[in-house]
Structures are given as structure tokens and as C-alpha cells.
Structure 1
Amino acid sequence: MNETDPDLELLARVGNNEPEAVKEMVSRKLPRLLALASRLLGDAEEARDVAQESFLRLWKHAAGWRTGQARFDTWLHRIVLNLCYDRLRSRKGMPLLEDDFLAEVPDSAPLPEEQLQTQAQHAQMAAALAALPDRQREAIVLQYYQELPNTEAAALMQISVEALESLLSRGRRNLRTYLAESDLAPQQRKASPGRGKP
């Protein structure tokens, strides 16, 4: 129907309340929306709530969708981001949960040692992401986990491409610093004199 927005035909069918179109829309969009919300919130239950609220808004606006302002997928990602921001603002000061990031690690690793190492790496990256300022985390998640091009990620964040690249640069630098410090922490604990003595 429209080469620039591959979702328009399906969206029109959803607007006409076609049950098969609704199922197709959910199967097409839900995995990425859940992944985005999970990475930003660090909580699988909250991510499911955000995805559900996003789909409720989708159903509400599907029949009246007008092309030209933004791609539908961009609009839907913006809804998820806004809902995540609302939740993050309401819980400022509370740490992000790492257990939900670990749930994404497949449990079919051939050796238990490799599985433990993979889980530790995922936990370390989850903690590093959680330590980033919100906007840096959002930029990293959109580019590396959602695999959005810079122009689309910048549009979602309502900033210029240059501002996005600056956030990405600072975010990567902060991730490197956090990961380097977390690698040093166990070594420093081992080398610290007097530890474990009564």
C-alpha cells in the first residue's frame, strides 16, 4: 500500500477490526516492544504492562491513523518510550532489577560453566545499562538492541542525529568505565589486606 511504511495496510485492517489483522499486528510488534521496554525498565512484568498499554493505544488510534507525520512503527516505539519514562520517573531512586535480564539468557548452553559465564556477562551488562543516565541508556538500547538506524532513533528521541551520536558516545564511554571498574572490583577485594581476618 505504501512503500515508505510497511505497516499501513495491516494498520488499516486493524482499524477495520479484522481479528486476523490484530493477531498479525501483535505477532509482528510485540517481541520488539517487549525487548525495548524490558531493556529500559529492567522488569519483565512492567515491560508486559507497557506493551499492553501500547497496544490499547494502537487499537484506539488505528482507525483514524493519518500518514505523513511519522511512520507507524516510529509512533509505536515513541508510545513505548513515553510509557517507560513515566514508570522510570515514578520510581526514581529504585534500582533496576537484574533478574529480568537474566531471564533472556537461553538455558540450552552445552556446558554449565559456559552458561554461568554467559549469565554473569548478561548480569554485568544489565547492571552497566541500569547505571547509565536515562537518555544514554535509551540511545544505546535503540541503536544496539532495537537495531534502529541513527535517523530513526534520533526521531524517536526527538533529538538531532548529532545529539544522538553524542549520547551514544557518552553512553559507550560510561559503559566501558563501568565494566572496567566492575572487572577490577573482585581483584581489588582479593588483594585488599586484612579482609576476612577477625
Structure 2
Amino acid sequence: MMQNLSEIEADAALMQEVARGSASASRIVADQYLDGSYRLAMRILGEASLAEDMAQEAFLRLWKQAPDWQAKAQIKTWLHRVTHNLCIDYLRKQSRYSDGELPDVEDPGPDVHQLREQRQLSDKVAEAMQKLPARQRVAISLVHFEECGNIEAADIMDISVDALESLLARGRRKLKELLLPVRRLMDGEMG
């Protein structure tokens, strides 16, 4: 159906071990999913310390949920949804959800040795992402950066697949428009 049943069952078994207090199972969950939760929060909020707080809060909720975990969703899907909701709630409280004017994103990646041009391009994409409305930014982040399928991303955002695809289309158009000057500059430098 929506997700691979064996992955859901494997995650349920892992969560049973977490509920029993298994340190190794807890480490496995953190190793596999903490970075993705942080990256999603970072793309939505644009601030490293806030993203860390949201990822930690999402994991606290995951640990609390462990004894009652049911084989209905993958850990990744559940955690992304909780992270998404925490971030959107934060933005709503800050009255920043719909204005699209969030601070520039500092690069959370460990790629210190990237070429300067790649870093500049990455910064321009991150800057352009922050200019998108929050829901478009979330949709693009889930599908393109977190590699969720459309069905999974729609489920995380609690919207229909058609609504997700509409957000993706509008977000991609806006990104293309925002990044056009960068592309022209790159073509000019290369050509």
C-alpha cells in the first residue's frame, strides 16, 4: 500500500526494543533518524539552534511513544511528521508561518571542503528556499532533500497527494524564478 509492510514491521520490532530500554536499539534509532529530523527542521526554520531543539523534542516524543508503538507507520514517517508539526507550530506562534520571510539558512552540512562555487550555489538555493512560503518549503524539503515519496510526504504534511503536488509545482516554479539570476551568472562565467 503506502509503505513497505516489512519496513513497518521491522521498525515496530525496533521500537519494542527501545521500549524495553535497549541502549543499542535506541542508538540505532538515533543514528538512523536524528540527522533527518534535524535537516527537516533546519530547512523549515532556518536556524540551527531551533532546528536542534525541534529534533530533540521530536525524539523525546518518539521515546515516550515507544511503549505504545504500533506497526502502522515507519519511524522515519512518524518522526518527520512530528518534526514538521513542531516546526509549523513554532512558526505559527511566531506569526511567521505564512509570510515566507525567514532568516537565511546557515549550511548544516559537514562539507567543509566543498569548492567555493558549489558552496555559493548551495547558499543561493538555501536562500531561495527560505523565500518560499512555509508549506511549499516543507513539501520540497521532504521530497527533494529527505527523499520521501509523494504519498509519504503528503502523509507527513497531513494533506492529499494532489495538494502536495500542487505545492511542489508552485514551489518549483518560484525556485526557478528566484534562481534564474544565479543560472544566468553561472552561464555567463562558464560561457
Instruction: Verify same fold: TM over 0.5.
Output: yes
Distance (whole Å) between structure 2 residues aligned to residue 61 and residue 73 of structure 1: 14
Tell whether 2:153 aligns with 1:153: yes
Matched with 2:86 is 83
How far the C-alpha of 1:65 sits from its partner, in A, is 1.3
- Root-mean-square deviation (CA, aligned residues, Å) is 2.1
Q: 1:176 aligns to what?
A: 176
What does the per-residue CA deviation read over 1:148-171, in whole Å, with 9 as the maximum and x for residues that have no partner? Answer: 011111111111111111111100
Q: Displacement of 1:95 after TM fit?
A: 4.4
Residue 98 (structure 1) aligned to one of 104, 116, 137: 104
Matching of residue 74 in structure 1 with residue 80 in structure 2: no
Are 2:42 and 1:7 equivalent residues in the alignment? no
Percent of aligned pairs with the same amino acid: 38
List alignment gaps of at least 5 residues for structure 2: 186-191
Higher relative contact order (CA 8 A, sep 6+): 2
In structure 2, distance between residues paired with 1:118 and 1:32: 22
2:28 is matched by which residue type in structure 1? E
**Structure 1, unaligned stretches of length 5 or more?**
110-114, 186-198
Question: How far off its partner does 1:66 sit?
Answer: 2.2
* TM-score between the two structures when normalised by the length of structure 1: 0.81
1:71-129 deviation digits (Å, cap 9, x = unpaired) = 3322211100011112222332694333522x4261224xxxxx221221111111110
TM-score, normalised via structure 2 length: 0.84
**Residue 22 (1) aligns with residue 32 (2):** no
1:107 aligns with 2:112: yes
Which is higher, the Rg of structure 1 or of structure 2?
1
Query: 1:191 aligns to what?
Result: none
CA distance in 1, matches of 2:105, 2:141: 18
The change in CA–CA distance for 1:145 and 1:7 in structure 2 (over 3 A counts) is: same
